[in-house]
A = this chain, B = another copy of it.
Amino acid sequence: MPVSPIEWIGDHQGFLRLLDQTRLPDEVSFVDCRKPEQVFTAIRTLQVRGAPAIGVSAAYGVVLGLQPAEDDFDQALDATTKRLAESRPTAVNLFWALDRMRRIAGESSGRPFAERLRSLFSEAQMIEQEDREMCAAIGWHGAPLLSTMQAVLTHCNAGALATAGQGTALSVIFEAVKQGHRLEVYADETRPLCQGSRLTAWELVDRGIPCTVICDNMAGWVMRQKRVQGVVVGADRIAANGDTANKIGTYGVAVLARAHGIPFYVAAPSSTFDLRLVSGDEIPIEERNRNEITEPWGRPNAPAQAGVFNPAFDVTPAEFIAGIVTERGVISPVNAETVRAMVASPATSQRRESAAAPLH
């Protein structure tokens, strides 16, 4: 049974237990969050990361912010959601989850405190549960895409550690393996924070799936040597035309994949789409601290006087993406029309409906 990266302990008065992913792979330890500020810090410092997991954590963070707010519920709701929204700028699931919590709070306006708190707790649980179902559905829709491949490359971590369920990109791989497909995975290390070597490799090893760790700069050579036949990655935000923001380096992998005639797939729930954005040019890109590059593990790795460029994400244009695997099905080819057809919905509660879709 894999370790859960996100676990709520107790009832609506309980607390959020997060696996501290910055300590992996050498240490499995947890952070107990009893205040939203702790959730903020956990998201900001990447103790919890991955777009879907950030969304689920933020939803529970709202519950934590309202537990002591019997006398100032709406004020606390406002302060908590605003603060959590500042934790990271790129992953849209964060804002989507906070919006859902605000909507539910609005619907319960005027009701007793305990009822309002319970309804928010219930919504956070639902977001978590939907995430599990979405992960499973993504795996189910995506697995056939890998059927002719012996090995695939992935970048960063879009696995169980990035979600409440079994992941997005890795869910596709897990499902393919579950269906009896022998598959090897090349995991890009993913500097600067090495989510690929630390987290993805850890998950794959844990499940007995053959995994080879490479440095990011080896991906092109691995493709040239025909060691992989496909690429599958997650996403942090997808624009209406299919342009996809994901961990820095994803764009380079996509360009390399095209140059080698290898299909490049994105796997993400529909909550990752931000249809207000016409293209990826409008996606805000977080830049992180230079120390992540210059002092990995506390030792100088570059001169202090050197400049540093440390974008956390990049944007892969839709034209490089062979398909986007969602919980509703695979978008392919990827363009504004096919994206709209799959993820736009007249109902405002589209995501709740979509969560059930794979069961049909």
Contact = CB atoms under 8 A, between A and B. Distances in A.
A258 B252 CA distance: 12
A305 B205 contact: yes
A340 B284 CA distance: 50
Contacts of A297: 296-299, 301
Contacts of A293: 189, 197, 213-215
Contacts of A224: 251, 314
A49 interface: no
Contacts of A198: 301-302
A295 B294 CA distance: 17
A204 B298 CA distance: 23
Given A198-B301, A205-B303, A256-B255, A249 B213 contact: no
Question: What's the number of copies of this chain in the assembled complex?
Answer: 2
Interface string A186-222: 1111111010011001101100001111111111111
Contacts of A300: 25-26
Given A307-B210, A307-B212, A309-B214, A252 B302 contact: no
A189 B301 CA distance: 9
A311 interface: yes
Interface of A is mostly: mixed
B218 A299 contact: no
A212 B25 contact: no
B201 A255 contact: no
Contacts of A222: 309
A215 B310 CA distance: 8
A16 interface: no
A217 B307 contact: no
23 contacts: A25-B300, A155-B217, A187-B306, A194-B302, A197-B293, A197-B306, A201-B302, A202-B303, A211-B306, A211-B307, A212-B309, A213-B307, A214-B309, A218-B248, A219-B252, A220-B255, A220-B256, A220-B314, A221-B249, A221-B252, A222-B309, A255-B259, A296-B297
Interface of A: 25-26, 155, 186-192, 194, 197-198, 201-202, 204-205, 210-222, 224, 227, 248-249, 251-253, 255-256, 258-259, 293-294, 296-303, 305-311, 314
